[in-house]
Amino acid sequence: MESSLQVRGPIDVAAERARTPGAAVTHHFNAAGSALPTASVVQAVVDHLRLEERIGGYEAAHQVADRIEAVYGDAARLIGAQAPEIALFDSASTGLRSIVDALRLGENKSRLLVSRSTYVSHALHLMSLGREHDVELVVVPNDPNGTIDLTALDGQLASGGPAVVCVAHIPTSSGLVEPVAAIGALARRHGARYVLDATQSVGQVHIDVTEIGCDVLVTTGRKFLRAPRGTGFAYVSAGLDLPPTAPDVRGAVWTASTSWELKPGARRFETWEASIGARVGLGVALEEALSLGTEQTERHLVARAASLRESLAETPKVTVQDPPCSPSAIVTFTVDGITPLRVNEQLGRLGVRTVSVPASHAQWDLGARGVDAVVRASVHVYNDDDDMAALVDAVARIATGG
């Protein structure tokens, strides 16, 4: 089996642009929202839809069964897991919700220890669990670097009772990278479960679930993986034998009037219905991510984003809003006297695609920092020097009212 650690050459940006039609259309800095897919990913989806048109959805699914099976192996390979530990979902949030519900926090009287980096949908789900199932929810403070305070987490873990730690590897609201392996070591030492939201990190940085020590990882397809929308996957460690709270025909066999048997492995969390075309596209995106190499991609993206952060920091009236520990492909900033929403609109008019992230998407981060919103620019392998210059020039023009 080919290793994702295999040493490959540097990223060939021109080649990446050539296979990414959207790269010629705008200066696209929104991989953290939904990245530009390659032509091959889109073609695979379109071909599958055409097949469904000709022979029917179930018959088409039967024809590509081997390709779908390969998706589990490739997803596992990308994050250092085994294929039976992978479940496919339509989003990261769906995966997180069904797996966290299966932890039955209320019944186990578990406390939920969460990072400030938690994504809005996850926070809403976890707060609802807290309210409805009498689960104690603790938002662990950050240290001065902006990452979760490991001493505070250690103290919380030591203060008794079973706990589940829930952390976003890289948040939606900044370039922060959480110390995920150190968190894993603490969780293991205290016998806590560890759920990692890797939605922004899979496809962006090198990930090995064994090194990180998480029990569960969830991610989405459309961001740094460059897969179609409506795709996602989760890793559930083989050591966790969790019954889903609402098994589906895909995850269980109804064996007699009132009995059923769960399927082995993580697939017990899946639902029958899914976009098979999107999953075929996910398969192509996974193959492409593996062939680029996760370490090469991480090195390239982190360097590009660092240089973008530097250029923006030198631009008058611009403040980079990333916390000190931000070695990721996400760059956040504000412009004096102009709302991020307005900056984003003006950038759009100049052909530069970013997004404005409001505090309502990250209350425990932006809200707690007293920042109403930020402009977020996220780089990917198809962004070239011309894109970078266009973004910095456009921001400078907007900042000076030009």
Ligand X SMILES: Cc1ncc(COP(=O)(O)O)c(C=O)c1O
Task: Choose, by CB under 6 A, the member of 30, 115, 147, 199 that binds ligand X.
Answer: 199
| Residue (122 or 193) nearer to ligand X, CB | 122
Stretch that binds ligand X, among 127-135, 194-202, 262-270, 294-302 (CB under 6 A): 194-202
Backbone angles phi, psi at 87, to 5 degrees: -125, 140
Question: Which residue's structure tokens are 């209320």?
Answer: 106
Starting from the edge strand earliest in sequence, which strands make up the sheet with 111-114, in order? 86-89, 232-236, 216-220, 193-197, 163-168, 111-114, 137-139
Task: Choose, by CB under 6 A, the member of 4, 20, 98, 121 that binds ligand X.
Answer: 121
CB of 312 to ligand X, least distance (A): 21
| Residue (352 or 362) nearer to ligand X, CB | 362
| Residue (22 or 33) nearer to ligand X, CB | 33
Counting Cα atoms < 13 Å in the Cβ hemisphere of 394 gives 25
Question: Which residue's structure tokens are 């998706």?
Answer: 71
Residue 235's DSSP bridge partners are: 86, 217
Task: Choose, by CB under 6 A, the member of 168, 276, 325, 398 that binds ligand X.
Answer: 168
Q: Does 93 bind ligand X (CB under 6 A)?
A: yes
Stretch that binds ligand X, among 76-84, 167-175, 302-310, 318-326 (CB under 6 A): 167-175
Q: Does 110 bind ligand X (CB under 6 A)?
A: no
Other CB atoms within a 10 A radius of the CB of residue 287 amount to: 18
CB of 179 to ligand X, least distance (A): 16
Determine the residue type at 167: V
CB of 311 to ligand X, least distance (A): 24
Question: Which residue's structure tokens are 């919700």?
Answer: 97
Residue 154 to residues 138, 144, 158: CA-CA distances in angstroms?
A: 13, 17, 6
Binding pattern for the stretch 210-239 against ligand X, x by CB under 6 A and - elsewhere: ----------x-----------x-------
What is the C-alpha end-to-end distance of the chain, expressed in Å?
55
CB of 302 to ligand X, least distance (A): 17
Q: Does 297 bind ligand X (CB under 6 A)?
A: no
| Residue (220 or 311) nearer to ligand X, CB | 220
Other CB atoms within a 10 A radius of the CB of residue 141 amount to: 14
Q: Does 119 bind ligand X (CB under 6 A)?
A: yes
CB of 328 to ligand X, least distance (A): 11
Q: Does 326 bind ligand X (CB under 6 A)?
A: no
CB 388, CB 307: distance < 8 Å: yes
Residues in Cβ contact with 269 at an 8 Å cutoff, skipping those fewer than 6 apart: 87, 89, 95, 98, 99, 102, 234, 236, 244, 251
Residues 101/103/106/107 CA torsion (nearest 10 deg): 130
Task: Choose, by CB under 6 A, the member of 171, 179, 213, 247 that binds ligand X.
Answer: 171
Q: Does 146 bind ligand X (CB under 6 A)?
A: no
Give the residue from 388, 381, 287 showing the smallest Cα distance to 9. 381
**What is the DSSP-derived secondary structure letter of residue 148?**
B
Q: How far apart are the C-alpha atoms of 349 and 327, rounded to whole Å? A: 29
Q: Does 197 bind ligand X (CB under 6 A)?
A: yes
Stretch that binds ligand X, among 90-98, 252-260, 295-303, 326-334 (CB under 6 A): 90-98
Residue 54 to residues 50, 110, 349: CA-CA distances in angstroms?
A: 6, 51, 41
Give Cα 400 distance to the centre of its chain.
35
Q: Does 92 bind ligand X (CB under 6 A)?
A: yes
Q: Token pair for residue 223?
A: 């961001």
| Residue (124 or 246) nearer to ligand X, CB | 124
Q: Does 365 bind ligand X (CB under 6 A)?
A: no
Q: How many residues bind ligand X (CB under 6 A)?
A: 13
CB of 219 to ligand X, least distance (A): 8
Stretch that binds ligand X, among 20-28, 43-51, 75-83, 196-204 (CB under 6 A): 196-204
CB of 2 to ligand X, least distance (A): 27
Q: Token pair for residue 129?
A: 């669990």
Stretch that binds ligand X, among 108-116, 151-159, 197-205, 299-307 (CB under 6 A): 197-205
Query: Which residues lie near ligand X (CB under 6 A)?
Result: 91-93, 119, 121, 168, 171-172, 197, 199-200, 220, 232
